[in-house]
Amino acid sequence: MASPEAEKIPRNFITDIIDEDLKNGTVTQVATRFPPEPNGYLHIGHAKSICLNFGLARDYHGTCNLRFDDTNPVKEDMEYINSIQRDVKWLGFEWNGEVRHSSDYFDRLFNYALELIDKGLAYVDELSPDEIREYRGTLKEPGKESPYRNRSIEENRTLFLKMRDGGYKEGEACLRAKIDMASPFICMRDPVIYRVRYATHALTGDKWCIYPMYDFTHCISDAIEHITHSICTLEFQDNRRLYDWVLEHISIDARPHQYEMSRLNLEYSITSKRKLNLLVTEGYVDGWDDPRLTTLSGLRRRGYTPESIREFCRRIGVTKQENTVEMSALESCVREDLNARAPRAMAVLHPLRLVIDNYGEEGVTETSFKVPNHADQPEMGEREVSFSGELFIDEADFREEANKQYKRLKLGSEVRLRHSYIIKAVSCEKDETGKVTCVHAEAVPFSAGRDVDGHKPKGVIHYVDAKNCYRGEVRLYGRLFKVANPGAEEDFLSTVDRDSLTVIKDAALEKSLQSAVAPAHYQFEREGYFCVDSKDSKEGAPVFNLTVALREAKKAAV
């Protein structure tokens, strides 16, 4: 859809910084990175970061690396590593060169730690994790120095090697940067930079039993890769001091800079991998790609297009103000995209039998209609829609009696069947509970696709040929959470709406839909945008997922 020019990132405070850096020559080529921790699937918040980092590289003819921040072997997994690469590609971006990992730099990171020790800027601390926390102080009180803080360089070297060689149990020792226990920034009060962990790492296996901490690893990895602009979210604002401190005190030639932007918070959605993980493992949803989740794999399965997500990220912009974006902002992006390019089709979600009593008589004999796939896009072609004397219409499109506002079918009045005849309902059959089971109608002869004098139906309803259709499964999705900000709830799981999925087992869909395969998208006329479910569909038996309703508000009576 959009041209590269139309996709350009709108000006923001980061593009201002880059423009300035390029102008005064501190940077000659922009280099960014997207650094996910492989401890879950990517979500819509990550899309903001991906679109920004890869988008800057595109707009400034620079590069963007994909780097797995894999310093925590306990939570990381190959499944996540694979899904993240797939999602970045699906969003339409290509990283520069090979995929990188913080773990690729473990040897170098270890040597930089030794360098800090040799400069008297790091020490092995044998306080317990609880004591370290206690000694750290608070925002109001300065921290207290560890009794191990003033060990000699030689002793620190020996003990750090002992850490590496398995001489300590977890929690018995760690390496700390020696900075300032009285700093107003708690992250500068001798932060831990290495800890002992006996865990098998997804890539380095059992080679290491000590792992570097995020703050130490990230800045050095950025410098090794010659990143120029290292963009993260606002919660790392204070940590920028530590980022700069580490790079100032080691021998490395590149000096990346960190810039912080606000996170994307989206209504009715969770953007925390830890919480998403709970929803998945506790069985609240059907996996990380459940179409009700705003993970990228969930959105994909729901029918969101990469273009619509990129457009959403472009519209929300990049600032330092914390805010929460309405779900309707995301929905309108996919609606606009699919409106332009999804072929139209007819599907009756709650089928009610409609018999045309005069079918077969003169002027009411058509067996199919040629119908455009998209009224505004003739190049999308036409298809044959089957017709007979027995149709399905939607239960909601018929009432025995109704007031003038009701423009659909009621006894004694006329509507047009989409692309087809004008019909008038003459009677209906009911079951013992009073539910209407069949409507009888008469078609106006020769009215198929054209006006007939004396007949001016107010409404149009859609139908499917009951004798020649596909009876398949359609899934409708509501919001997964009952509250707009589930992340703020103490027990967010209690806000899950257990009725957010409606499965319609035997919707009546026009025959052409039977051969649909994922990731096809359709507009089911008068219903909404739907896509073929990529997981549960079988050849000749597609399952359809509701992507988004046709309009934002509740469907008004048509």
Least distance between Mg ion and beta carbon 37 (Å): 4
Q: Is residue 297 involved in binding ligand ATP (CB under 6 A)?
A: no
558, 459 in Cβ contact below 8 A? Answer: yes
Least distance between ligand ATP and beta carbon 518 (Å): 27
Least distance between ligand ATP and beta carbon 233 (Å): 4
- Our CB check for Mg ion shows the closer of 201 and 292 to be 201
Q: Which of 8, 149, 263, 482 is catalytic?
A: 263
- Our CB check for ligand ATP shows the closer of 75 and 341 to be 75
Q: How far is the first Cα of the chain from the last one, in angstroms, to the nearest whole number? A: 30
Residues numbered 219-238 forming contacts with ligand ATP, rule: CB under 6 A: 232-233
- Our CB check for ligand ATP shows the closer of 34 and 160 to be 34
Q: Say whether the peptide bond before residue 73 is cis (omega within 30 degrees of 0).
A: no
Per-residue tokens: 246: 């580490």
Residues numbered 273-292 forming contacts with ligand ATP, rule: CB under 6 A: 273
244, 281 in Cβ contact below 8 A? Answer: no
Among candidate residues 420, 422, 427, 450, the one with its CA nearest the CA of residue 525: 420
- Our CB check for Mg ion shows the closer of 37 and 497 to be 37
β-bridge pairing 409-410 and 398-399: parallel
Among candidate residues 389, 386, 390, 384, the one with its CA nearest the CA of residue 352: 390
Q: Angle at the Cα of 352 (from 348 to 355), degrees rounded to 5? A: 110
Of ligand ATP, Mg ion, none, which one sits near residue 518, judging by CB under 5 to 8 A according to partner kind? Answer: none
- Which run of H or E residues covers position 110? helix 106-118
Q: Angle at the Cα of 318 (from 37 to 488), degrees rounded to 5? A: 60
Q: Which of 151, 176, 189, 273 is catalytic?
A: 273
Least distance between Mg ion and beta carbon 260 (Å): 14
d(CA 550, CA 64): 37
Of Mg ion, ligand ATP, none, which one sits near residue 246, judging by CB under 5 to 8 A according to partner kind? Answer: none
Residues numbered 58-97 forming contacts with ligand ATP, rule: CB under 6 A: 69
Q: In what order do the strands lie in the sheet with 422-430?
A: 460-461, 414-417, 422-430, 436-443, 351-356, 390-394, 464-465
d(CA 259, CA 33): 12
38, 70 in Cβ contact below 8 A? Answer: yes
Q: Quote the longest CA-to-CA distance of the chain.
A: 105
Q: Is residue 48 involved in binding ligand ATP (CB under 6 A)?
A: yes
Q: Which of 8, 37, 399, 479 is catalytic?
A: 37
203, 101 in Cβ contact below 8 A? Answer: yes
- Our CB check for ligand ATP shows the closer of 233 and 413 to be 233
Given 15, 18, 32, 49, the residue binding ligand ATP (CB under 6 A): 49
Of Mg ion, ligand ATP, none, which one sits near residue 49, judging by CB under 5 to 8 A according to partner kind? Answer: ligand ATP
Give catalytic status of residue 151 as yes or no. Answer: no
Tell me the three state secondary structure of residue 386: strand
- Residues that bind ligand ATP (rule: CB under 6 A) add up to a total of 15
Q: Angle at the Cα of 195 (from 194 to 198), degrees rounded to 5? A: 135
Q: Is residue 46 involved in binding ligand ATP (CB under 6 A)?
A: yes
Q: Is residue 75 involved in binding Mg ion (CB under 5 A)?
A: no
**What residue type is assigned to position 272 of the chain?**
S
Give catalytic status of residue 100 as yes or no. Answer: no
Of ligand ATP, Mg ion, none, which one sits near residue 233, judging by CB under 5 to 8 A according to partner kind? Answer: ligand ATP
Q: Is residue 267 involved in binding Mg ion (CB under 5 A)?
A: no
**What residue type is assigned to position 414 of the chain?**
E
Given 37, 238, 357, 395, the residue binding Mg ion (CB under 5 A): 37
- Our CB check for ligand ATP shows the closer of 86 and 374 to be 86
Least distance between ligand ATP and beta carbon 290 (Å): 16
d(CA 177, CA 252): 17
Binding mask 7-36 for ligand ATP (x = CB under 6 A): ----------------------------xx
- Our CB check for ligand ATP shows the closer of 64 and 345 to be 64
Per residue, the 3-state secondary structure of 491-543, as one string, reads: CHHHHECCCCEEEEEEEEEEHHHHHCCCCCEEEECCCEEEEECCCCCECCECE
Give catalytic status of residue 37 as yes or no. Answer: yes
Least distance between ligand ATP and beta carbon 419 (Å): 45
Q: Is residue 272 involved in binding ligand ATP (CB under 6 A)?
A: yes
- Our CB check for ligand ATP shows the closer of 76 and 394 to be 76
Tally of CB atoms within 10 A around 53 = 24
Q: Is residue 485 involved in binding ligand ATP (CB under 6 A)?
A: no
Least distance between Mg ion and beta carbon 87 (Å): 16
Among candidate residues 7, 10, 30, the one with its CA nearest the CA of residue 19: 30
Which residue, judged by CB position, is nearest to ligand ATP in the bound state? 45
d(CA 288, CA 87): 12
Of ligand ATP, Mg ion, none, which one sits near residue 273, judging by CB under 5 to 8 A according to partner kind? Answer: ligand ATP
Total count of residues recorded for the chain: 558
> Would you name the residues annotated as active-site residues?
37, 263, 273
Q: Binding residues for ligand ATP, per CB under 6 A? A: 35-37, 45-46, 48-49, 69, 232-233, 263-264, 271-273
